[in-house]
């Protein structure tokens, strides 16, 4: 699966309590602590229900949107954590370079 390490990183960061921030509709308006390439997996996170919106009542709804990890996202993190821990170091390194992992 492409970007599987990036998906793991995003779920891990969200699970640590970091909020995903979205400003506008451009990919450079996305920010998640420890995941600079969040734009590559944002659509999947949203489409698969791994995110839940966080609303701050004192903010203008047209300003920055915030997202946290949903329960479905927490379940997915539990699923991919085992997979990630079983990867040998060189495949983790390979994937962090942005290269596709060989089929398992």
pTM of the predicted protein model: 0.88
Average pLDDT value for residue range 4-14: 95
- Give residues with Cβ within 8 angstroms of 53, minimum separation 6: 65, 66, 67
- CA-CA distance, 15 to 10, in Å (whole number)? 9
pLDDT digits (tens, 9 = 90+) for 35-90: 999 999 999 999 999 999 998 878 776 778 999 999 999 999 999 999 999 999 99
Phi-psi region of 49 (alpha: psi -120 to 50; beta: other; left: phi over 0): left
Q: Which CATH number fits domain 4-92: 1.10.10.10, 3.20.20.140, 3.30.530.20, 2.40.128.30?
A: 1.10.10.10
Show me where the domains of the chain are located.
4-92
Q: What is the pLDDT of residue 1?
A: 44
Q: Give φ, ψ of 76 to 5 degrees.
A: -65, -40
């Amino acid at each position: 699966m492409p970007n599987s390490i990036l998906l793991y990183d995003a779920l891990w960061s969200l699970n640590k309590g970091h909020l995903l921030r979205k400003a506008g509709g451009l990919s450079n308006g996305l920010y998640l602590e420890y995941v600079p390439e969040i734009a590559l997996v944002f659509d999947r996170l949203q489409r698969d229900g791994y995110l839940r919106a966080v609303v701050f009542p004192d903010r203008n709804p047209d300003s920055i949107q915030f997202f946290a990890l949903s329960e479905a996202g927490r379940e997915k993190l539990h699923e991919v954590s085992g997979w990630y821990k079983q990867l040998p170091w060189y495949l983790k390194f390979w994937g962090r370079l942005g290269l596709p992992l060989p089929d398992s």
